[in-house]
Amino acid sequence: MSIKKDETVLAGKGAVKIIPVETKITITNTQTGKEYVDEKEALADVENPATSTEEEHIKRDVAVMVNSLDIFGDTT
């Protein structure tokens, strides 16, 4: 079974509450430690024949900041 990116699965009753969250993406070269400004800069480094950077050297970290999250839901 494949999972589609835009598919929402809801078990039980009620509507899905969308919680806005702040995210921060950090793109780093694991070989050199260089932090890229964006995906375009990382891709340019990979495509540059003057560097030894390969796609496998690019690391993407995503931090998601959530103030509060009700993990237990409604008990009634």
Q: Where are the domains of the chain?
A: 22-65
Of 71 and 43, the structure prediction assigns the larger pLDDT to: 43
**More confident call, 60 vs 11:** 60
Query: pLDDT tens, 3-49?
Result: 445 556 666 666 667 777 889 999 999 999 999 999 999 999 999 99
Q: How far is CA 73 from the centre of its chain?
A: 25
* Alpha-carbon gap, residue 14 to 17, rounded angstroms: 9
Measuring CA to CA, which residue among 41, 12, 11 is closest to residue 29? 41
Is pLDDT of 67 > 90? Answer: no
